């Protein structure tokens, strides 16, 4: 079976994702991705009856047999000061998040 992700395609994807991989890591990851694609192809080949309903997790969701979703309810934290004390920087009871530098991609 031929590999779906060639070295050239993989190198292009690594460049797009701005990853830094050494040759051993790149070879391992490319082989693993090809193994995953081969597994998906095997699963696609499994014959299924046309009358099997589609489901996300194998258990059908039927409104009449399921509980209604609970209402959202805001419950204040009892010890917010203890939580904020763990943050490296706080301002006006908000956690300060550092800016993320942006770079222009090729």
User: What local confidence, expressed as pLDDT, does residue 20 receive?
Assistant: 93
User: What local confidence, expressed as pLDDT, does residue 15 receive?
Assistant: 92
Q: CATH classification of 1-48, choosing from 2.40.50, 1.10.3470, 3.40.50, 1.10.20?
A: 1.10.20
Q: Where are the domains of the chain?
A: 1-48
- The DSSP line for the chain is ---SS-HHHHHHHHHHTT----HHHHHHHHHHHHHHHHHHHHHHTS---TTSPP-SSSS---GGGSPPPPPP-----TTHHHHHTTSS-EETTEE--PPPP-----
User: What local confidence, expressed as pLDDT, does residue 14 receive?
Assistant: 93
User: What local confidence, expressed as pLDDT, does residue 12 receive?
Assistant: 94
CA torsion, ordered 81, 85, 87, 89, to nearest 10 deg = 100
Q: Is 16 exposed, middle or buried (0-12, 13-18, 19+ CB in 10 A)?
A: exposed
User: What local confidence, expressed as pLDDT, does residue 69 receive?
Assistant: 81
Neighbours of 30 (CB within 10 A): 20
The model scores a pTM over 0.85: no
User: What local confidence, expressed as pLDDT, does residue 70 receive?
Assistant: 86
pLDDT per residue of the chain (106 residues) written in tens, 0 to 9:
578 899 999 999 999 999 999 999 999 999 999 999 999 999 989 988 888 777 656 676 677 777 888 899 998 888 989 999 999 999 999 999 988 877 777 6
User: What local confidence, expressed as pLDDT, does residue 56 receive?
Assistant: 58
């Amino acid at each position: 079976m031929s590999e779906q992700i060639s070295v050239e395609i993989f190198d292009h994807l690594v460049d797009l994702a701005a990853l830094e991989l050494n040759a051993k890591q790149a070879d391992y990851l490319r082989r693993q991705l090809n193994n995953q694609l081969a597994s998906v192809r095997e699963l696609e080949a499994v014959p299924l009856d046309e009358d099997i309903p589609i489901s996300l997790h194998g258990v059908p969701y039927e409104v009449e047999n399921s509980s209604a979703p609970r209402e959202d309810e805001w419950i204040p934290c009892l010890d917010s000061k203890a939580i904020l004390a763990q943050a490296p920087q706080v301002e006006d009871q908000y956690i300060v998040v550092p800016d993320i530098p942006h770079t222009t991609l090729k």
